[in-house]
Amino acid sequence: MSVTVPVGTEPGVPDRTRRVPAHDAPPEDPRQRRRNLLGRLDVKVSPYLYISPFFLVFAVVGLFPLIYTAYVSVHDWHLIGGQGEFVGVQNYLDVVQQPRFMTALRNTFSIFLLSSVPQVIAAIVIAAVLDANLRAKTFWRMGVLLPYVVAPVAVALIFSRLFADQAGMINSLLGTVGIGPIRWHADPLSSHVAIATMVNFRWTGYNALIFLAAMQAIPRDLYEASVIDGASRVRQFFSVTVPLLRPTVIFVVITSTIGGLQIFDEPRMFDQLGQGGADRQWMTVTMFLYELGWGAQKSFGRAAAVAWILFLIIVVIGLINFAITRRIASTAQPGSESRRRSRAAARSAARNIEKGGLR
């Protein structure tokens, strides 16, 4: 005699139920039957119970606000007065026709490009330097990550002082080599460079570690083969490392697009007024959103319209990224598939060796 104990585990694995002798109670005992029923209910319901906290909170603070933004954006809606009339696309028209919107868009893209492109290049170079048989490896890795624990607000306060137009350290150092004082706050492009520097300071090391991990997953025999073929270290870097890093580069670019286009903290703190400069020369889209909703206009309708526009921009850029990625992937060398497979094999082999060594 036996009862079946269901074990809620991975589907596809054959015979995940186990037969256990039930010597303590015959199945016709109602207590036992109830316990079985409860047990089965436990198995059926528990998974949903365990994932429900995430979905509940996400529905309320993530999904609902995003969708409701669209609703708010087609209404007159005041910070204090609350919901007004339905106005259709009027908020969108109001926003797009404000010259500041175009300024904000320009600034956001400019800061984004100035921060993402140099950052990815610098991070790959730093990762290549870290990917060596270093002494005190952990020390150097921690060293590049240090800026990550400084809050963006603090970073912005430090750098807005370093980049001060008058009596700032960077202008003073540039002065000693004969480069005349740069108006870091007054000039649009200079201010974008300064703000992008803050972003780069905080994130380059973080991304370098991501690239380092990807580099270490490249099988070493590829390098050995390239050495036999007579490749120099520089040639190795460009012909082996960089091509195999492509998926990681795409991952980093996509995540930094999502974050970078919403940038707020650093430009908000670049001066004490927080409006993005006298001519809004470094005001970003998110700062514009804040100004519409919580600044002088107090128009939630317009702020929501900006949020929705920015969301669409991010989606479009994400799709463009995706398309470019697909294009690159399909034009890649025919050997890339087997190479990827060999890399995965090498990685799991290395992991097995490591585990065996530790055991």
Partner 1 sequence: MSSVPMIAQTAGRGAARAAARKRNLGGAGVNRRPGWITYTLLGLVLAISAYPIYYAFLLASSDSATIAQNPVPSLIPGPNLFDNIGRVISSDIKFWEAVGNSIIVAVVTSVSVVFFATLAGFAFAKLRFRGRRPLLVFIIATMAVPAQLGIVPLFIVMSKLEWTGKLVAVIVPGLVTAFGVFWMSQYLEEALPYELIEAARVDGCSMIRTFWHVAIPAARPAAAMLALFTFVGSWTSFFWPFIVLGSTNPTLPVALQLLQASYFKDYALIMAGVVAATIPLILLFAVAGRQLVSGIMQGAVKG
Using CB under 8 A as the binding criterion, the count of chain residues that bind partner 1 stands at 131
Q: How far is CA 31 from CA 6, 23, 34, 242, in A?
A: 18, 15, 5, 66
Give, as ranges, the residues between 314 and 353 that touch partner 1 (CB under 8 A). 314, 318, 347, 350, 352-353
- Choices 25-33, 42-50, 84-92, 107-115; region in contact with partner 1 by CB under 8 A: 42-50
Q: Which of 3, 210, 242, 250 binds partner 1 (CB under 8 A)?
A: 210
Q: Measured from the CB atom, is 86 or 148 closer to partner 1?
A: 148
- Choices 39-47, 113-121, 188-196, 332-340; region in contact with partner 1 by CB under 8 A: 39-47
Q: Measured from the CB atom, is 216 or 334 closer to partner 1?
A: 216
To the nearest whole angstrom, how small is the minimum distance from the Cβ of residue 111 to partner 1?
Answer: 16
Give, as ranges, the residues between 117 and 176 that touch partner 1 (CB under 8 A). 126, 128-135, 138, 140-155, 157-159, 161-162, 164, 167-169, 171-173
Give dist(CA 116, CA 15) in Å, integer: 51
Give dist(CA 43, CA 27) in Å, integer: 19
Give, as ranges, the residues between 225 and 264 that touch partner 1 (CB under 8 A). 226-227, 233, 236-237, 241, 248, 251, 254, 258, 261-262, 264
Give dist(CA 76, CA 82) in Å, integer: 8
Give dist(CA 345, CA 337) in Å, integer: 12
Q: Measured from the CB atom, is 132 or 331 closer to partner 1?
A: 132
Give dist(CA 302, CA 295) in Å, integer: 12
Q: Which of 25, 61, 278, 323 binds partner 1 (CB under 8 A)?
A: 61
Q: Could you give the count of Cα atoms lying within 13 Å of 115 in the half-sphere of its Cβ? A: 31
Q: Measured from the CB atom, is 49 or 331 closer to partner 1?
A: 49
To the nearest whole angstrom, how small is the minimum distance from the Cβ of residue 332 to partner 1?
Answer: 21
- What sections of the chain are H helices per DSSP? 30-58, 64-73, 90-97, 99-130, 137-145, 152-162, 169-176, 188-216, 220-228, 233-236, 242-244, 246-260, 265-268, 285-294, 300-331, 336-358
Q: Measured from the CB atom, is 135 or 331 closer to partner 1?
A: 135
DSSP 195-225: HHHHHHHHHHHHHHHHHHHHHHTS-HHHHHH
* Contact status, residue 205 vs residue 145, Cβ threshold 8 Å: yes
To the nearest whole angstrom, how small is the minimum distance from the Cβ of residue 153 to partner 1?
Answer: 4
Q: Which residues lie closer than 8 Å to 352 by C-beta, 6 or more apart?
A: none
Q: Which of 37, 89, 121, 213 binds partner 1 (CB under 8 A)?
A: 213
Which token pair is 284? Answer: 């970003």
Single out the residue of 157, 129, 149 nearest to residue 272, CA to CA.
157
Indicate if the alpha-carbon torsion angle 116, 120, 123, 129 is positive or negative: negative
Give, as ranges, the residues between 84 and 103 that touch partner 1 (CB under 8 A). none
∠ Cα 14 19 20 (to 5°): 145
Query: Using the rule CB under 8 A, is 48 a contact of partner 1?
Result: yes
Q: Which of 95, 124, 195, 265 binds partner 1 (CB under 8 A)?
A: 265
Q: Which of 29, 85, 229, 354 binds partner 1 (CB under 8 A)?
A: 354
Q: Measured from the CB atom, is 329 or 353 closer to partner 1?
A: 353
Give dist(CA 58, CA 247) in Å, integer: 29
To the nearest whole angstrom, how small is the minimum distance from the Cβ of residue 171 to partner 1?
Answer: 7
To the nearest whole angstrom, how small is the minimum distance from the Cβ of residue 224 to partner 1?
Answer: 5
Q: Which of 244, 256, 286, 317 binds partner 1 (CB under 8 A)?
A: 286
Give, as ranges, the residues between 5 and 34 that touch partner 1 (CB under 8 A). 5, 7-11, 13, 16, 18, 20
To the nearest whole angstrom, how small is the minimum distance from the Cβ of residue 210 to partner 1?
Answer: 4
